[in-house]
């Protein structure tokens, strides 16, 4: 059997006869049926093999393995045993919501692998046994001879052996929107990254046609390598998921401790062990905030809706909160930081005059350009419009970005229809090898007799245009070496400004042309990106730029956006490869670098892993299929909605529908705010739970009657898990959150500071409520008035506590009493229901309450407001002293970001 295994680069470096011999095939006859059968056994079908999927039911059941879910299931079971059906129902609802959301997320994430298989075209034209035949692409094998033409999608990795004006759109593979011209000649430079004689699987033929030999198929192709990497790459857990796992374990531990303490004390006191165990289990169930999964889900879902309104589509709910932990964002330049739209900004003519292009005008030496006063500038613009294949259709310019930029410039001076005055006799198309384009035209209505001879117009790279120029100026003076050096210096200066330079010339023949001038073009930064970058960096989020451009262009754009400052580091793709042998050195270098240039999409994975090696939380943008692995590897994969491929979007966690970097700022802001809202809810619920548990536990342990009856405890539990608590999850995002540094992914949901605030509030609620109960229990007989006063006291404490839990640092007044309408309505509704429980006869009999006097209500209001007053004093002290200390810590943490 012939060994046909080889890489595409190896094939690119081989002469065509040697390659065909190595693959055991013929360019005229292709393979025989026998050869095909043998090779299919060796290489398999030309398709991606997706592992056999588990049934949907098995996947759904697998979601129940989460520690938090298992704990809630145990709680629901215990609630059923103890006949607390309301608790069992609420816990079950919470479980179903969380499990269903997790299942949907996992199901959608697997679509990224399926999307890759759609890139393989169903049919292709292949030569076998000397006959051209149409066949299914899945049956191709290495050595097959394939014909491709306009409109085809390349069926496998093909080494071209014939090429006629072949242009291929590789955006699905590289993310670059530029069409690549392909040729069949061997690649001379073994270190070249540009494989112009290879057509990759899944790419699209834009023009021309060609013939090639299949080098690799299926998972052995370049797309197949991406596919296998995606299969092996596990998306990391989000910080929120880690926090929820940790919280579940903590609550399990606390629950077991409660049961153990109750059993131990009851056994020491000689009480009935079964009764004590029932009390301990009930308290443990009450300690679990079953409303937490619901609030987390609702809060994240609302965040997703708000972000969608800001052009950011989030595919997985926990990702919203993860954005608040991101401390480094690696962004593409083209289309994300810039407009992905070339524009001419400078013109420099043979008369050494410079002009600047403004929004609607062209200005030279402070005045608008006119045909009479600035013929040299007009002549340069005219050549750009005539030596051009772009078109103006449907009120927009269509064609290559460079050529549409030249036509757009012509439209400012009403010249873009100038081609209609000429008849094109001949054209020399632009290619990456010759780096110039020329057209031979004749004026349709000759102004002078010799116009019938026609003229050549040329545009291209300065170095090659200069080789065709022998004269300069209207008097056709010799174009000296000194003058050429001058224009090379001007071009270099434009290049340092981040401009792409194009030279223009005209003449009767291609080898005796007159030099006309230069134009500098650039892809302008998007409006608002610079301010977004600045705000992100002030918030401790570092921004790194990744581009395939040259160093000068990359640094120029990065400087204008504030990403790169004097002294910052930059790395090329080749330098990244050299650092790859030392993980520590690579991670350190990548962490300190601001701009990565001349990189391929594969380098993105290297950058992500290096940053993660430094414990950074990475946000990575991408738009090409090859970016999919890096997007999946990063904590936050961000795909471009307009320019991005389907595979890229499926692999990403978030999609920017407007391809605008500024949208990321809004997303990060939303992510930070959501985490604070979830934390505020946890603070409220835990403080209420601890107070309620402590009240019942102390009464039980000291042999006192229960201060609350079953219906009253049920009502309090509804408040703990119901509308007032859940309304904290929809608190409007605090605009100051961007001033806070990114949260560390290792931070626990229940931090020391949060636990301290919980205990302070719980102690105040416990002491106040217990004092009311002790005050009413002077006759040592529990009456409806005693429980009503205690019950109402606890409920009012809860309402004031909910107000204080809206923010960890800001006062209720500064937030606005009614800025969170959901909370205002919830508190108002709970107070109204509490009044009905106290004063409405039928409810009095159900809750065993009696009417309270006005003085009783006023006493309770004054007492219960203490939890809010104490918290406001704490916040005021924090804002005065604690914030300054914290800002100093934040400054030291972000100093490196500001320097870079």
Give the active site residues: 332
Cα(625)–Cα(628) distance, integer angstroms: 5
For 572, left (φ over 0), alpha (ψ -120 to 50), or beta? beta
The three-class DSSP label of residue 53 is coil
Number of alpha carbons in the 13 Å side-chain half-sphere of residue 200: 26
Cα(455)–Cα(725) distance, integer angstroms: 79
Cα-flanking dihedrals φ and ψ of residue 258, to 5°? -60, -50
> Helices 529-538 and 883-899 sit at what angle, rounded to 10 degrees?
130
| β pairing state of 654-656 and 312-314 | antiparallel
Residues 6+ positions from 785 with CB-CB distance below 8 Å: 776, 850, 852
DSSP state of 193: S
Distance of CA 673 to the CA centre of its chain: 17
- CA separation, residue 214 to residues 8, 48, 144 (Å): 10, 17, 5
Cα(530)–Cα(662) distance, integer angstroms: 9
Residues 6+ positions from 26 with CB-CB distance below 8 Å: 20, 145
| β pairing state of 455-460 and 436-443 | antiparallel
Cα-flanking dihedrals φ and ψ of residue 512, to 5°? -140, 55
Sign of CA dihedral 479, 481, 482, 488: positive
Cα of first residue to Cα of last residue in the chain, in angstroms, is 57
Residues 6+ positions from 899 with CB-CB distance below 8 Å: 565, 567
Q: Which two tokens stand for residue 219?
A: 């998972």
Residues 6+ positions from 14 with CB-CB distance below 8 Å: 22, 159, 186
CB-based contacts of 757-761 (< 8 A; 24+ apart in sequence)? 757/683, 757/687, 757/808, 757/871, 757/874, 758/683, 758/686, 758/687, 758/690, 759/687, 759/690, 760/870, 760/871, 760/874, 761/683, 761/687, 761/691, 761/801, 761/804, 761/805, 761/867, 761/871
The three-class DSSP label of residue 327 is coil
Cα(304)–Cα(105) distance, integer angstroms: 13
Residue 95, number of CB atoms within 10 A of its CB: 22
Q: Which two tokens stand for residue 547?
A: 């581009």
Cα(263)–Cα(266) distance, integer angstroms: 5
| DSSP output for 156-188 | SEEEEEEEEEEEEE-HHHH---SEEEE--SPP-
Cα(291)–Cα(89) distance, integer angstroms: 12
Cα(319)–Cα(626) distance, integer angstroms: 22
Residues 6+ positions from 242 with CB-CB distance below 8 Å: 745
Token pair 């002469």 is found at 15
Cα(163)–Cα(182) distance, integer angstroms: 7
Q: How many helices (H) and strands (E) does the chain have?
A: 35, 28
């Amino acid at each position: 059997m012939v060994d046909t295994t080889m890489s595409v680069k190896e094939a690119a470096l081989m002469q065509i006869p040697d390659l065909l011999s190595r693959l055991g095939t013929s360019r005229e006859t292709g393979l025989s049926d026998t050869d095909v059968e043998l090779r299919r056994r060796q290489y398999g079908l030309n398709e991606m093999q997706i592992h056999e999927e588990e049934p949907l039911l098995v996947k759904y059941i697998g979601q129940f393995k989460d520690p938090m879910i298992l704990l809630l299931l145990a709680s629901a079971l215990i609630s059923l045993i103890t006949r607390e059906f309301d608790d069992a129902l609420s816990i079950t609802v919470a479980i179903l919501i969380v499990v269903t959301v997790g299942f949907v997320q996992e199901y959608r994430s697997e679509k990224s692998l399926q999307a890759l298989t759609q890139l393989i075209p169903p049919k292709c034209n292949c030569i076998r046994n000397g006959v051209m035949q149409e066949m299914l692409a899945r049956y191709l094998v290495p050595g097959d001879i394939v014909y491709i033409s306009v409109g085809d999608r390349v069926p496998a990795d093909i080494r071209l052996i014939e090429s006629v004006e072949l242009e291929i759109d590789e955006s699905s593979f590289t993310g670059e929107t530029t069409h690549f011209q392909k040729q069949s000649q061997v690649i001379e430079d073994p270190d070249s990254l540009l494989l112009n004689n290879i057509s990759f699987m899944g790419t699209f033929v834009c023009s021309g046609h060609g013939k090639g030999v299949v080098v690799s198929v299926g998972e052995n192709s370049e797309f197949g390598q991406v596919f296998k990497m995606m299969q092996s790459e596990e998306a990391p857990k989000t910080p929120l998921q880690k926090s929820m796992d940790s919280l579940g374990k903590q609550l399990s531990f606390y629950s077991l401790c409660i049961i153990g303490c109750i059993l131990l004390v009851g056994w020491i006191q000689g009480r009935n062990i079964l009764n004590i165990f029932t009390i301990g289990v009930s308290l443990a169930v009450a300690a679990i905030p079953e409303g937490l999964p619901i609030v987390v889900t609702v809060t994240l879902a609302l965040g997703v809706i708000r972000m969608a309104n800001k052009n950011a589509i989030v595919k997985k709910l926990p990702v919203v909160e993860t954005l608040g932990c991101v401390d480094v964002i690696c962004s593409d330049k083209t289309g994300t930081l810039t407009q992905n739209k070339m524009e001419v900004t400078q013109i420099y003519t043979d008369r050494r005059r410079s002009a600047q292009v403004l929004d609607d005008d062209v200005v030279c030496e402070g005045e608008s350009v006119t045909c009479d006063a600035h013929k040299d500038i007009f002549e340069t613009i005219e050549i750009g419009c005539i030596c051009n294949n772009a078109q103006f259709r449907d009120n927009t310019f269509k064609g290559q970005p460079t050529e549409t930029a030249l036509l757009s410039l012509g439209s400012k001076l009403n010249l873009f229809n100038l081609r209609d005055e000429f008849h094109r006799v001949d054209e020399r198309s632009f290619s990456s090898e010759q780096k110039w384009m020329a057209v031979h035209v004749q004026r349709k209505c000759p102004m002078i007799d010799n116009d019938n001879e026609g003229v050549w117009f040329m545009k291209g790279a300065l170095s090659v245009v200069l080789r065709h120029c022998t004269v300069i100026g209207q008097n056709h003076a010799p174009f000296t070496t000194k003058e050429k050096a001058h224009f090379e210096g001007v071009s270099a200066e434009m290049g340092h400004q981040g401009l792409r330079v194009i030279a223009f010339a005209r003449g009767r023949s291609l080898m005796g042309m007159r030099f006309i001038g230069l134009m500098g073009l650039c892809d302008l930064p998007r409006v608002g990106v610079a301010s977004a970058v600045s705000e992100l960096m002030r918030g401790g989020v570092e921004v790194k730029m990744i581009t395939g451009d040259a160093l000068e262009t990359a640094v120029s754009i990065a400087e204008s956006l504030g990403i790169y400052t004097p002294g910052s580091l930059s790395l090329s793709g080749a330098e990244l490869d050299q650092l790859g042998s030392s993980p520590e050195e690579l991670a350190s270098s990548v962490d300190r670098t601001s701009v990565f240039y001349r990189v391929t999409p594969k380098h993105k994975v290297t950058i992500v892993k290096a940053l993660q090696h430094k414990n950074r939380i990475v946000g990575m943008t991408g738009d090409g299929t090859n970016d999919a692995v890096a997007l999946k590897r990063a904590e936050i994969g961000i795909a471009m909605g307009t320019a991005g491929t389907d595979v890229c979007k499926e692999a990403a966690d978030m999609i920017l529908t407007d391809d605008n970097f500024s949208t990321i700022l809004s997303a990060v802001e939303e992510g930070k705010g959501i985490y604070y809202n979830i934390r505020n809810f946890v603070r409220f619920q835990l403080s209420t739970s601890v107070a309620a548990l402590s009240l019942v536990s102390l009464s039980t342990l000291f042999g006192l009657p229960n201060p609350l009856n079953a219906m009253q405890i049920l009502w309090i539990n509804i408040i703990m898990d119901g509308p007032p608590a859940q309304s904290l999850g929809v608190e409007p995002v605090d605009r100051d959150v961007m001033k806070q540094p990114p949260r560390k992914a290792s931070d626990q949901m229940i931090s020391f500071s949060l636990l301290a605030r919980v205990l302070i509030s719980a102690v105040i609620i416990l002491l106040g409520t217990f004092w009311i109960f002790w005050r009413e229990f002077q006759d040592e007989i529990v009456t409806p008035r005693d429980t009503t006063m205690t019950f109402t006291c606890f409920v009012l404490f809860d309402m004031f506590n909910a107000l204080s839990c809206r923010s960890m640092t800001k006062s209720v007044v500064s937030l606005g009493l009614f800025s969170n309408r959901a909370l205002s309505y919830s508190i108002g509704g709970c107070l109204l229901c509490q009044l009905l429980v106290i004063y409405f006869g039928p409810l009095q009999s159900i809750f065993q309450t009696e009417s309270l006097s006005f003085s009783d209500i006023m006493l309770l209001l004054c007492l219960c407001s203490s939890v809010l007053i104490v918290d406001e004093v704490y916040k005021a002290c924090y804002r005065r002293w604690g914030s300054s200390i914290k800002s100093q810590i934040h400054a030291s943490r972000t100093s490196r970001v500001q320097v870079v």
